[in-house]
């Protein structure tokens, strides 16, 4: 049902070709094997989930994708080419943006400034131009501010624009972090447990935002969850990990009925 040319989802959305392919990724920390020979792909425009119990290696996988960890073995293919070893900032400059399992906002800055940092990879005025606040630097600041304001409107955080991030409650911080990632206009958006620690209402809001982002901007999203229920309605295809291994890969329905997956989840029964 899928090939490199893309596929049509159950709800009739056209998904594009392969954007990224992880080939036989293994990641070791000393004696610990966090990821064991995992391969999967992400198609352009889809919502791809990685699920699995705590400690399965999901965050490690995301860190490999963003270049924070270098895999011990295996290759990352991005936009049709093998990605050489890269620093995280270089990966970000290729259009990969992300949020973190434990919120990683810049606490000393306002919401607006935090979201503006998402535009960093698109700004290149010289230091001199910035120092005299003239020419390129000024144009750039205004252009990018307009883009950032659209993201702020989209995520409904206008009212806290000028608030220092440190003062915000947890749920809003998660949203600001999403805003910062979205501001980068990424070709691949990585979300590490975007709904962790939220109440039901906040989870519903976040799910709606994720779907809207994918729908309105066609952004490819790869998200991690350890709560299986949340992801099933949201994602087009799901990779299931357990103890560093891939134990399932397919549509939510296929995965839900997979015996290996059911066993893995029963084994850790609602932690």
Partner 1 sequence: MLYRTAGQFKTSYKADQALFPVRQDAILLGIIMVFAWVIFPFTASEFAFQTMLIPVLIYALASMGLNILTGYAGQLSLGTAAFMGVGAYACYKLLTIMPWMNPVVAIFLSGFFSAGIGVVFGIPSLRIKGFYLAIATLAAQFFLVWLFEKWAWLYNYNASGAIQVPNTTTLGTYVTGPLASSMTQYYVVLGIVTVMTILCINLTRGNLGRMWKATRDMDIAAELIGINLMKSKLIAFAISSYIVGVAGALYVFMWKGAAEPNLFDIPLSFEILFIAIIGGLGSILGNFLGAILIVGLPVVLNLLPDALGIPISSALVEHLNIMIVGSLIVFFLIIEPHGLARLWALIREKLIIWPFPH
Ligand X SMILES: Nc1ncnc2c1ncn2[C@@H]1O[C@H](COP(=O)(O)OP(=O)(O)O)[C@@H](O)[C@H]1O
Q: Tokens for 115, please give them.
A: 């979201």
Q: Which residue of 21, 37, 75, 140 would you call a contact of partner 1, by CB under 8 A? A: 140
Q: Which residue of 12, 54, 131, 169 would you call a contact of ligand X, by CB under 6 A? A: 54
What is the per-residue binding string for partner 1 in 99-128, x denoting contact by CB under 8 A? -x---xxxxxx---x--xxx-xx-x-x-x-
Q: Which is nearer to partner 1, 145 or 256 (CB)?
A: 145
97 binds, among partner 1, Mg ion, ligand X, none (CB under 5 to 8 A by kind): partner 1
Q: Tokens for 141, please give them.
A: 């600041």
The conformational region for residue 182 under phi > 0 = left, psi -120 to 50 = alpha, else beta, is: alpha
Q: How far is the CB of 28 from ligand X (least distance, A)?
A: 9
Q: How far is the CB of 10 from ligand X (least distance, A)?
A: 27
Residues within the interface to Mg ion (CB under 5 A) = 59, 101
What is the per-residue binding string for ligand X in 176-215, x denoting contact by CB under 6 A? ----------------------------------------
| Nearest to 94, CA basis, from 121, 75, 61 | 121
Q: How far is the CB of 190 from Mg ion (least distance, A)?
A: 12
Stretch of 28-36, 38-46, 116-124, 182-190 contacting ligand X, by CB under 6 A: 28-36
Cα-flanking dihedrals φ and ψ of residue 107, to 5°?
-65, -30
Q: Which is nearer to Mg ion, 101 or 129 (CB)?
A: 101
Q: Which is nearer to partner 1, 7 or 68 (CB)?
A: 68
CA distance 245 to 56: 8
Q: How far is the CB of 239 from ligand X (least distance, A)?
A: 12
Q: Which is nearer to ligand X, 69 or 209 (CB)?
A: 69
CA distance 29 to 176: 32
DSSP 29: E
Three-class DSSP category at 97: strand
| Contact between residue 186 and residue 96 where contact means Cβ atoms under 8 Å apart | yes
The helix, strand and coil proportions of the chain, stated in percent and rounded to the nearest 5, come to 40, 25, 35
88 is an interface residue for partner 1 by CB under 8 A: yes
Burial class (CB in 10 A: 0-12, 13-18, 19+), 145: middle
Q: Which residue of 184, 188, 222, 255 would you call a contact of partner 1, by CB under 8 A? A: 184
CA distance 230 to 180: 23
Q: Tokens for 80, please give them.
A: 């049709």
Stretch of 55-63, 126-134, 161-169, 200-208 contacting ligand X, by CB under 6 A: 55-63
CA distance 64 to 76: 9
Q: How far is the CB of 113 from partner 1 (least distance, A)?
A: 6
> Applying CB under 6 A, which residues contact ligand X?
29, 32, 34, 52, 54-60
């Amino acid at each position: 049902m899928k090939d490199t040319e893309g596929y049509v989802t159950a709800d009739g959305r056209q998904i594009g070709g392969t954007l990224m392919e992880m080939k036989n990724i293994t990641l070791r920390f000393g004696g610990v094997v966090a990821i064991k020979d995992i391969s999967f792909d992400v198609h352009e425009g889809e919502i791809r989930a990685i699920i699995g119990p705590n400690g399965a290696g999901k965050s490690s996988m995301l860190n490999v994708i963003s270049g924070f960890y270098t895999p011990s073995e295996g290759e990352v293919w991005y936009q049709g080419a093998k990605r050489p070893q890269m620093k995280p900032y270089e990966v970000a400059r290729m259009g990969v943006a992300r949020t973190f399992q434990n919120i990683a906002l810049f606490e000393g800055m306002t919401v607006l400034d935090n979201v503006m940092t998402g535009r960093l990879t698109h700004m290149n005025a010289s230091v001199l131009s910035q120092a005299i606040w003239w020419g390129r630097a000024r144009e750039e600041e205004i252009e990018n501010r307009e883009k950032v304001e659209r993201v702020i409107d989209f995520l409904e955080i206008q009212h806290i624009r000028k608030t220092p991030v440190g003062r915000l409650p947890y749920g809003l911080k998660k949203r600001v972090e999403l805003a910062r990632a979205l501001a980068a206009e990424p070709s691949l958006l990585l979300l590490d447990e975007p709904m962790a620690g939220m109440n039901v209402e906040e989870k519903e809001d976040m799910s709606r935002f994720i779907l809207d982002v994918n729908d309105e901007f066609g952004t490819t999203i790869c998200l991690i969850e350890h709560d299986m229920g949340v992801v099933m309605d949201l994602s087009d295809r799901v990779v299931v990990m357990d103890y560093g291994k891939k134990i399932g890969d397919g549509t939510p329905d296929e995965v839900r009925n997979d015996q290996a997956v059911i066993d893995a989840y029963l084994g850790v029964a609602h932690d």
